Amino acid sequence: MQKPSVAELRPVVHPAGVKDRRSGEHWAGRLYMREISLRVDRYLVNTRVTPNQLTYLMTVAGVLAAPALLVPGIAGAVLGVVAVQLYLLLDCVDGEIARWKKQYSISGVYLDRVAAYLCDAAVLVGLGLRAADLWGGGRIDWLWAFLGTLAALGAVLIKSETDLVGVARHQAGLPPVKESAAEPRSSGMALARKAAAALKFHRLVLGIEASLLILVLAIADTVHGGLFFTRLGTAVLAGIAMLQTLLHLVSILASSRLK
């Protein structure tokens, strides 16, 4: 069976609004990965591969970032980036194949969210274990592993806080939240939210951004020697994750999302 062209695929798998979703589309998807995924789609749309199978594979790729980061030096950081980029590619492809084959399912949506949780957590736990210097031959400093795990917990809690809005509204018999409801009701909170959105520091605890930061830190450590920058990054990300967990909770309570 002849493979469809990119031009044939695009209007079906990239319908209007897909790339413009406020919280459903990552900047890397808009910038380059959606174009790469279109080329991969051509080889999968006429096969028996299902969207959920791709989502399972995506989950494995994201989780593999943790052991990849245990490889010392720049090599481990590069492997971590590769694992996360493969996760991102499959995250694009599974939805695109679902649109082409019209194989939609609630389980697919659920599995996609589980994969996002696991990928973010895996990268940050891997960073903490990397900073602990498991293979350095000296004393393992578990403080850094704890801080990496703390960062991972924060990243998961931030996502949970968002998802639990939908759970709370459903259990209360309310319709899904509208995007306009996310705006804080007080002018002070609105200003703080805009400042945070402009700085985008909170994105550093997401798997994609964190993996790229870890690579930069690994390069700095190679030049400087030791693990100073990796450990500094671990501490900073743990602080950001905890702060963002609190701020995000306050933002939700100050908005109309639970009204």
User: All domains of the chain, ordered by start, with CATH?
Assistant: 6-254 (1.20.120.1760)
Q: Which of 119, 148, 145, 159 is nearest to 28 (CA)?
A: 119
pLDDT at 1 over 90: no
pLDDT at 185 over 60: no
Alpha helices in the chain (DSSP H): 6-13, 27-28, 34-41, 51-63, 65-69, 73-101, 106-131, 142-171, 187-199, 207-224, 228-254
Instruction: Copy the structure tokens of residue 83.
Output: 């694992």
Binning pLDDT at 50, 70 and 90, where does residue 110 land?
very high
Average pLDDT value for residue range 24-35: 86
Average pLDDT value for residue range 111-129: 97
Instruction: Copy the structure tokens of residue 52.
Output: 């959920």
Average pLDDT value for residue range 74-87: 98
Average pLDDT value for residue range 110-135: 96
Most confident of 26-30, 139-143, 190-194, 210-214: 210-214
Binning pLDDT at 50, 70 and 90, where does residue 123 land?
very high
- The beta strands (E) that lie in 86-226 are given as none
Which of 77-91, 149-163, 173-187 shows the lowest per-residue confidence on average (mean pLDDT)? 173-187
Query: Is the pLDDT higher at 228 or at 29?
Result: 228
- Tell me what percent of the residues of the chain surpass a pLDDT of 90: 74
User: Residue 115: CB partners within 8 Å, gap ≥ 6?
Assistant: 55, 58, 59, 62, 87, 91
Rounded Cα distance, 62 and 67, in Å: 10
Cα 54 to Cα 21, 168, 209, 255: the distances in Å are 22, 30, 22, 36
Rounded Cα distance, 195 and 193, in Å: 5
> What is the reported pLDDT for 223?
96
